Amino acid sequence: MGSIGRRTALGLGAAALITRRGLAREAGFVSAAANAEGGFRVAGFGLDGAAHFDLPIPGRGHGAAVAPDGGTAVVFGRRPGTFAQEIDLGAGRPLRNLPRAAGRWFCGHGAFAADGRLLYATELDAAGEGVVGVYAPGRGFTRIGEFPTHGADPHDIRLLADGRTLVVANGGIRADPSLPRARFDLDAIDSSLVRIDAASGQRLTGWKLEEELKLLSLRHLAVAGDGAVFVAMQHEGPRDEEPPLAAVQRGSGIATLDDDITVWRGMDHYTGSAAASLDGRLVAMSSPRGGQVALLDAATGAVAARFALPDGCGLAAAPGGGFVATSGLGQAVLLRPDGPAAPLPGDWVRRLRWDNHLAPVVL
């Protein structure tokens, strides 16, 4: 996704806090964003497009993890992130700022334990190896431990339905966290999808793509209703190549979705986000570079619908089996497979430039 600070200003003043109502009391969404002045924010809104809150954060944000009770969320700084900000969603106010541990950097994503007693965050060490930092919300988000992601450049992380297994996408691109956004030796990408026991940190199993697809970096995850894990990827190879940009891990294997290469060609080598519908039957994948969103049938991997959305990236499940998608150009739309994109009403939601990810709160 392009630099959020350089996008066209959309005219929002520097509102500090909007408390018309709380996200914890109705269906809503939370995302990192930027305002017209380039200030970094975390904001929440409802399906009516109206503001729930709009708060400053210490730097550019990326993804957010919402607590199981919907009362709080933690938004993570963009990789290599130096902060994670806890938000009270009901009151629309900031709580704790979780600074990074020494020699560790946040990778933009995290997941709560099923009972909310732990928070797992993907992090980098100084050598670019991945770790999962473990935090205790009930103890002021004290960092109580870590375990390896069993790969380099970790990104997205999800807790599976059994409540015991974490799945992590290791992007496999070596980097020095002290040189933000620098990437080294792309020919040596070693990307993987790994399942980890949340209690012990033990690697349970893992998958890599075929050697001829080694220039695909596994980045974002969506878990379908049957437990299949869909992976949205980014291609780091030559521009004349046209690889599929999605894979699905089901059962004991992983396979790319290459039946409709025209979809991935239109995404310009880059997917930015992934989400599963509430009923688990659809998976959405976005491409801000390609300016489009694809909805996939989770059972078959076939494309169910495609939508144009310039600089569109954020995705979250919405009531009724569809998705809300946001863009860095100030758009927020409702997507369903059986109709056109429907912009959310109201002016406020169009005044922020939404960042890469969107998290549902209470649905």
In angstroms, rounded to a whole number, what is the distance separating the alpha carbons of residues 53 and 348?
A: 11
DSSP 340: -
pLDDT at 346 over 60: yes
- 8 Å CB contact between 80 and 50: no
Q: Which domains does the chain have, with CATH numbers?
A: 4-360 (2.130.10.10)
pLDDT at 241 over 60: yes
Coil, strand, or helix at residue 209? Answer: coil
Coil, strand, or helix at residue 213? Answer: helix
Mean pLDDT of the chain: 90
First to last CA, the chain: 27
Amino acid, res. 289:
R
To which H or E segment does residue 76 belong? strand 72-77
pLDDT at 362 over 90: no
Q: Report the predicted TM-score, pTM, of the whole model to 2 decimal places.
A: 0.91
pLDDT digits (tens, 9 = 90+) for 43-66: 999 999 999 999 999 999 999 999
pLDDT score at 132:
98
pLDDT at 363 over 80: no
pLDDT at 339 over 60: yes
Candidates 212, 218, 334; CA nearest to 277 is 334
pLDDT at 11 over 50: no
In angstroms, rounded to a whole number, what is the distance separating the alpha carbons of residues 103 and 131?
A: 11
Using pLDDT thresholds of 50, 70 and 90, give the confidence band for residue 180.
low
pLDDT digits (tens, 9 = 90+) for 255-285: 999 878 889 999 999 999 999 999 999 999 9
Q: Who's near 99: CB < 8 A, 6+ residues apart? A: 82, 83
pLDDT at 18 over 90: no
pLDDT at 185 over 90: no
Q: Who's near 47: CB < 8 A, 6+ residues apart? A: 27, 28, 318, 319, 324, 334, 344
- 8 Å CB contact between 334 and 353: no
Average the pLDDT over 97-106 and give the result. Answer: 94
What whole-number percentage of the chain has pLDDT above 90?
Answer: 83
Coil, strand, or helix at residue 312? Answer: strand
Average the pLDDT over 336-346 and give the result. Answer: 94
pLDDT score at 128:
87
pLDDT score at 181:
62
pLDDT score at 174:
83
Q: Who's near 193: CB < 8 A, 6+ residues apart? A: 167, 168, 169, 170, 206, 207, 208, 218, 229, 231, 247, 249, 254
Other beta carbons within 10 Å of 161: 13
pLDDT score at 38:
93
Question: And the tokens for 358?
Answer: 């969107």
In angstroms, rounded to a whole number, what is the distance separating the alpha carbons of residues 166 and 92?
A: 29
* β-strands 332-335, 323-327 pairing: antiparallel
Better-scored residue on pLDDT, 331 or 363? 331
CA dihedral 92, 96, 102, 104 (to 10 degrees): -30
